């Protein structure tokens, strides 16, 4: 058994592991600027346990930049990853080119700017007992190479919670926006879905992805819930193995499921990562008059406590403690209380552990 512990500022990279190697990273946290925080592979039956990767990409980071950052790339036949926690990377866990029959168990993937779980080499694999809370795309298994055909394999997703997160950096379409639950094609694996809860608050920006299980791809399916908090009917037909929940009842069901998962999977390490925050509105160089709604996008790896808006370094009003839509914190501001002219607007986010971060300032012109 290999052990990794403490705060790591360099990536973990070992692609020559022997068969049956175990790595205990339950006391390790990665805060690295490397494109891949954790990369492992080599022999068969490798098991990686625990560990947390904390990214620092501001919410305003473009999709094309964010997708180059991976929390973890596990490889090797029958590789198992369990209990890993990832925050604010482009991709969560992306299985490599030689990872048939992979397993991801007990993982917490939070605020993944592209795919939460990626299986682009179209192997059979299993996601079990995971919380994927804030994905641009839930599961991506469209083959990297056109010649790859995984249609005879089965990817099982069970006992898992997955929520799509509207992001400020998108591949296409309106902002904030997200892709869909399944990035799939004819040569992607079959899907088996058991005892899962899915949540979406708006339709997908990406028309070539699937908000429901891809047609003709269900190898097995039972006891799933779709929580739809968007406008109108659900965007795609759901199979009979799904129960659709909406409104307050749906939100309560999701919140209770997440609270139970977190109670069953407490973090093993202290909160050492600050939040990430960007200003969302008004836009840079905007001219503002009268009462203006200020909006910041802020997220933390654990628990965000508050966001404070500032003009020229001075707080504007009280702290905002509630995101009425996930990650968006707003404050009505009467610009008539400040002098006309050009000013710098910013926002500072604080988490429950006392860590903080300040958004890049933007110029605004007050004209009243």
232-242 pLDDT, tens digit each: 999 999 999 99
Per-residue tokens: 180: 């869909």
Torsion sign over Cα 116, 120, 121, 122? positive
User: Is it the case that residue 145 has pLDDT exceeding 80?
Assistant: no
Note the pLDDT of residue 283: 97
Say if residue 23's pLDDT is above 90.
yes
Mean pLDDT of the chain: 97
* Mean pLDDT of the 307-327 span: 96
Counting residues of the chain whose pLDDT is more than 70, the rounded percentage is 100
> How is domain 276-366 classified at the architecture level of CATH?
Sandwich (2.60)
Stated pTM of the model: 0.98
198/210 Cα distance (integer angstroms) = 13
pLDDT at 298: 98
> What CA–CA distance (Å, rounded) separates 327 from 167?
9
* pLDDT beyond 90 at 147: no
Lowest mean pLDDT, pick from 16-20, 61-65, 255-259, 269-273: 269-273
Q: How far is CA 99 from CA 72, 73, 266, in A?
A: 13, 10, 28
Gyration radius from the chain CA atoms: 21
Q: What is the average pLDDT across 308-315?
A: 97
List C-alpha distances in Å: 238 to 142, 198, 205, 251, 298. 21, 12, 19, 19, 32
Task: Identify the bridge partners of residue 167 per DSSP, sorted by sequence position.
Answer: 177
pLDDT of residue 312: 97
What confidence category does residue 189 fall into, taking pLDDT thresholds of 50, 70 and 90?
A: very high
Please give the structure tokens belonging to residue 77. Answer: 């036949």
Give the pLDDT score at 175.
97
């Amino acid at each position: 058994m290999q052990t990794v512990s403490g705060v790591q500022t360099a990536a973990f990279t070992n692609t020559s592991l022997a068969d049956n190697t175990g790595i205990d990273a339950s006391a390790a946290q990665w805060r690295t600027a490397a494109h891949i925080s954790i990369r492992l592979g080599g022999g068969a039956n490798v098991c990686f346990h625990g560990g947390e990767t904390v990214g620092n990409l501001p919410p305003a980071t473009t999709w094309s930049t964010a997708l180059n950052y991976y929390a973890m790339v596990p490889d090797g036949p029958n590789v198992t990853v369990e209990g890993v926690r990832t925050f604010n990377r482009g991709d969560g866990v992306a299985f490599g080119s030689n990872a048939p029959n992979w397993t991801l168990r007990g993982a917490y993937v939070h605020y993944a700017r592209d795919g939460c779980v990626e299986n682009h080499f179209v192997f059979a694999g299993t996601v079990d007992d995971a919380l994927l809370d804030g994905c641009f795309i839930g599961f991506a298994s469209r083959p990297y190479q056109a010649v790859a055909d995984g249609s005879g394999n089965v990817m099982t997703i069970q006992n898992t919670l997955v929520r799509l997160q509207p992001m400020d950096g998108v591949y296409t379409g309106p902002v904030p926006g997200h892709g869909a639950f399944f990035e799939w094609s004819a040569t992607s694996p079959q899907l088996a879905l058991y005892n899962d809860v899915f949540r979406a608050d708006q339709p997908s920006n990406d028309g070539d992805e699937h908000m429901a299980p891809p047609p003709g791809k269900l190898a097995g399916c039972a006891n799933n819930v779709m929580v739809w908090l968007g406008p109108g009917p659900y965007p795609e037909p759901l199979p009979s193995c799904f129960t659709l929940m909406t409104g307050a009842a749906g939100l309560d069901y999701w919140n209770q499921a997440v609270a139970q998962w977190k109670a069953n999977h407490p973090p093993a390490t202290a909160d050492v990562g600050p939040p990430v925050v960007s200003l969302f509105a008004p836009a840079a160089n905007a001219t503002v008059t009268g009462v203006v709604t200020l909006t910041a996008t802020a997220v933390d790896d654990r628990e965000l406590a508050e966001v404070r808006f500032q003009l020229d370094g001075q707080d504007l009003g009280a702290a905002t403690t509630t995101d009425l839509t996930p990650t968006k914190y707003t404050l009505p501001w009467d610009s008539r209380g400040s002098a006309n002219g050009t000013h710098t607007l910013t926002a500072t986010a604080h988490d429950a552990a006392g860590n903080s971060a300040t958004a890049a300032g933007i110029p605004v012109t007050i004209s009243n």
